[in-house]
């Protein structure tokens, strides 16, 4: 039995579902990709030799990624196309969460001249720009695009115009990610959601030109086109002053994530925060100094202000300033925009899965063209495992049978270990918590939801237990 995660798990393997339509120039290559994907899904953590069952399979993987037609784009295309089709079938609102993470391969000296700068400039690797499709209810649909970017070294004497016109300018990733994600069909509203990195006039103007919809967090103050009036006696010429003087529409409660202390951010405890919500229309003026490529016209959009009413002692008050071109005229609409933006951290969970779980940065390939297809494959594995993890946190997780998403034998073996009864029906939530318990999570309320590392340890232990069960039954091992 091959490991499958997804609806109707017993009908089709993971590899066939997400890579079966890949165009690699030869049907045999596609079959091998499907087989390798199933094997990696069975053992998502560990090194490639650990993921493969024997030397023949490992050699087959190396031969596969060596083929010129097996590129990053070719490997990930089938999964991204499937995600877009799911988004079309969903209808209504689908959120496309954009974010960039660094993939560091400084441990492979042979890649130094093939990749770009990461970190403080001494390391080398990729900027990996991911676009994850989710529903407003936080159901993960999958990746709709992934771009691998090699950061270039900028000459000291390069002019502002040369930087702006360079095809590899880093800020181009945001509009490029939107373009690679496709266009919403009639009857669907696809909203691009991003953090402050996307707050460039170029990105906003590109969205208005392509008639796209977005919600992004404001990163900088901007001049307004004309004078914005909050009241007869209050006139504002800059965005932040205008936003912070908007009349309140009402209040709502938002979940604040726990945040570790870093050089840029203060430590923050998880909590439920009561926030005041304000919103209003705004006209953004064209920047005086061009930092991208865009038409010279002001942008008409909406701003939503979220401000915590009474933060706990010693905690910094939560404040979000969101920019959107989806009409926001009342409290209900403003709260919806806030809820959309609240889904954005899910793409950060994807990055944790890629790095902590699938160990995407630990690969030892010495040629970039062989490394890139594996980045695509492991990213899809991470997205699908995030789908399972998110399903366990959903409102109907207690009512959804685990066998809807996982092979029955995995559910039986884990149920036998956790509850001493392999025939006991398990929900998706029970399966996920039992898997975490197998990985060392204590399942106490104070422990919170299990993290990626704990789930991966449990998954690998469960896989070994399933292999033992299949060996006893005389079946084929995963």
Please give the residue range of the domain that contains residue 407. 394-478
Cβ(5)–Cβ(140) below 8 Å: no
What's phi and psi for 359, nearest 5 deg? 50, 50
Tracing tokens 């069952």 back to the chain, one arrives at 53
Q: What is the pLDDT of residue 9?
A: 47
User: Residues with Cβ < 8 Å from 159, sequence gap 6 or more?
Assistant: none
Segment holding 306, helix H or strand E: strand 299-308
CATH code where residue 468 lies:
1.10.740.10
Q: Are residues 150 and 296 in the same domain?
A: yes
Q: Name the helix (H) or strand (E) containing 252.
A: strand 248-256
Q: How far apart are CA 118 and CA 100, in angstroms?
A: 12
Question: Taking Cα atoms as reference points, which of 208, 215, 87 lies closest to residue 142?
Answer: 87
Tokens 């896989």, residue located: 463
Residue 137 lies in a domain: yes
Same domain, yes or no: 121 and 230: yes
Q: Give the C-alpha separation, 148 to 51, whole Å.
A: 24
Convert the pLDDT of each residue in 88-142 to its tens digit: 998 899 999 999 999 999 999 999 999 999 988 889 999 999 999 999 999 999 9
Q: Which two tokens stand for residue 373?
A: 């297809």
Write out the H or E segment, with its range, that includes residue 239: helix 239-244
Same-domain pairing of 332 and 408: no
Smallest CA-to-CA distance from 301 within 403, 389, 364, 225 is with: 225
Which is it for the CA torsion 67, 73, 75, 78, positive or negative?
Answer: negative
Listed residue (358, 357, 364) closest to 106, CA to CA: 364
> Considering just the CA atoms, what is the radius of gyration of the chain in Å?
24
Are 324 and 434 members of one domain? no
Residue 223, Ramachandran bin (φ over 0: left; ψ between -120 and 50: alpha; else beta): beta
* 336 shares its domain with 408: no
Q: CB 61: neighbour CB atoms within 10 A? A: 24
Same domain, 272 and 411: no
Q: How many CA atoms lie within 13 A of 222 on its CB side?
A: 24
Q: Is residue 440 part of a domain?
A: yes
Residue 71, classed as helix, strand or coil, is coil
User: Is residue 332 domain-shared with residue 469, that is, in the same domain?
Assistant: no
Question: In 302-407, where does DSSP find H-type helix?
Answer: 331-342, 345-352, 368-393
Task: Return the pLDDT at 141.
Answer: 95
Q: pTM of the predicted model, to two decimals?
A: 0.90
Residue 107 structure tokens? 């441990």
β-bridge mates for residue 61, sequence order: none
Calpha distance 409→60 (Å, rounded): 28
Q: Among 351, 382, 402, identify where a domain stops.
A: 351
| Alpha carbon of residue 391 to chain centroid | 15
Based on the domain organization, do 401 and 294 belong to the same domain? no
- What is the distance between the alpha carbons of residues 129 and 146, in angstroms, rounded to a whole number? 6
Per this entry, what is the length of the chain? 478
**Residues 114 and 236 both lie in one domain:** yes
| CA nearest neighbour of 383 among 50, 85, 5 | 5
Residue 470 lies in a domain: yes
Are 311 and 454 within one domain?
no
Domain termination site, one of 351, 376, 409: 351
Number of domains the chain is built from: 2
Residue 16 resides in a domain: no
Half-sphere exposure of 200 (CA within 13 A, CB side): 18
Q: Shortest CA distance to 146 belongs to which of 365, 342, 378?
A: 378
Domain shared by 333 and 194, yes or no: yes
Beta strand 92-104 with 188-194 is: parallel
Per-block average pLDDT, block size 10, for the chain (478 residues)?
A: 50 87 95 92 80 86 95 97 94 96 96 93 94 95 96 88 88 95 94 96 95 96 78 74 93 84 66 93 89 88 95 88 96 97 95 91 95 96 89 86 86 94 92 92 80 83 87 66
- Considering the domain architecture, whether residues 315 and 434 belong to the same structural domain is answered as no
Let me know the angle formed at the C-alpha of 170 by 87 and 80, rounded to the nearest 5 degrees. Answer: 20
Residue 6: its pLDDT value, please?
Answer: 57
Give the position of tokens 């270039």: 152
223 exposed, middle or buried (CB, 10 Å; 0-12, 13-18, 19+)? middle
- Cβ 82 vs Cβ 116: under 8 Å: no
Question: Of the residues 351, 370, 403, which one is the last residue of a structural domain?
Answer: 351
Helix (H, G, I), strand (E, B) or coil at 329: coil
445 domain-assigned: yes
Query: What does the pLDDT read at residue 217?
Result: 97
Question: Is residue 17 one of the residues assigned to a domain?
Answer: no
The residue written with tokens 């970039």 in the block is 368
The answer as to whether 447 is a domain residue is: yes
CATH of the domain at 123: 3.90.350.10
Q: According to the model, what pLDDT value does residue 227 have?
A: 65
Contacts for 250-254: CB closer than 8 Å, 24+ residues apart: 250/276, 250/277, 250/331, 250/335, 251/275, 251/276, 251/277, 251/309, 252/277, 252/335, 252/338, 254/306, 254/318, 254/338, 254/342
Asked if residue 71 is part of any domain, the answer here is no
């Amino acid at each position: 039995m091959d490991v499958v995660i997804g609806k109707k798990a017993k009908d089709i393997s993971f590899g066939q579902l997400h890579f079966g339509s890949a165009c690699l120039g030869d049907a045999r290559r596609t079959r091998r990709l499907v087989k390798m994907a199933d094997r990696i899904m069975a053992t998502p953590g560990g090194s490639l030799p650990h993921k493969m069952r024997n030397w023949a399979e490992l050699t087959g993987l190396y031969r596969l990624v060596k083929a010129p037609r097996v590129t990053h784009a070719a490997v990930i295309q089938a999964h991204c196309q499937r995600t877009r089709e799911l988004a079309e079938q969903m209808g209504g609102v689908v959120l496309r969460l954009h974010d960039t993470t660094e993939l560091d391969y400084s441990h492979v000296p042979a890649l130094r001249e093939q990749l770009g700068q990461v970190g403080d400039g001494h390391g080398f690797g990729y900027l990996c720009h991911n676009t994850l499709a989710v529903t407003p209810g936080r159901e993960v649909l999958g990746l709709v695009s992934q771009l691998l970017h090699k950061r270039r070294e900028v000459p000291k004497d390069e002019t502002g115009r040369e930087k702006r016109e360079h095809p590899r300018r880093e800020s181009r990733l945001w509009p490029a990610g939107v373009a690679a994600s496709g266009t919403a069909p009639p009857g669907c509203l696809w909203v691009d959601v991003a953090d402050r990195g996307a707050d460039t006039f170029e990105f906003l103007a590109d969205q208005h030109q392509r008639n796209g919809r977005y919600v992004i967090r404001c990163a900088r103050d901007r001049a307004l086109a004309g004078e914005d009036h909050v009241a007869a006696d209050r006139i504002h010429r800059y965005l932040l002053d205008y936003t912070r003087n908007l009349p309140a529409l009402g209040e709502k409660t938002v979940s604040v994530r726990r945040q570790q202390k870093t050089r840029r951010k203060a430590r923050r405890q998880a909590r439920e925060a009561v926030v005041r919500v304000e919103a209003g229309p705004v006209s953004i003026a064209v920047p005086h100094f061009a930092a991208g490529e865009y038409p010279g016209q002001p942008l008409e959009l909406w701003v939503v202000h979220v401000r915590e009413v009474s933060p706990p002692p010693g905690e910094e008050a939560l404040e979000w300033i969101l920019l959107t071109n989806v009409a926001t005229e009342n409290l209900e609409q403003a709260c919806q925009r806030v809820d959309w933006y609240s889904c954005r951290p899910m793409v950060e969970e994807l990055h944790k899965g890629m790095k902590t779980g699938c160990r995407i940065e630990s690969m030892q390939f010495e040629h970039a063209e062989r490394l890139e297809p594996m980045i695509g494959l492991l990213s899809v594995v991470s997205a699908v495992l995030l789908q399972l993890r998110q399903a366990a946190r959903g409102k109907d997780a207690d009512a959804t049978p685990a066998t809807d998403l996982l092979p029955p034998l995995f559910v039986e073996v884990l149920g036998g270990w956790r509850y001493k009864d392999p025939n006991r029906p398990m929900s998706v939530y029970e399966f996920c918590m039992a898997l975490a318990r197998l990985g060392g999570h204590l399942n106490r309320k104070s422990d919170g939801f299990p993290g990626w590392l704990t789930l991966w340890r449990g998954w690998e232990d469960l896989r070994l237990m399933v292999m033992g069960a299949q060996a006893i039954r005389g079946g084929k091992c995963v």
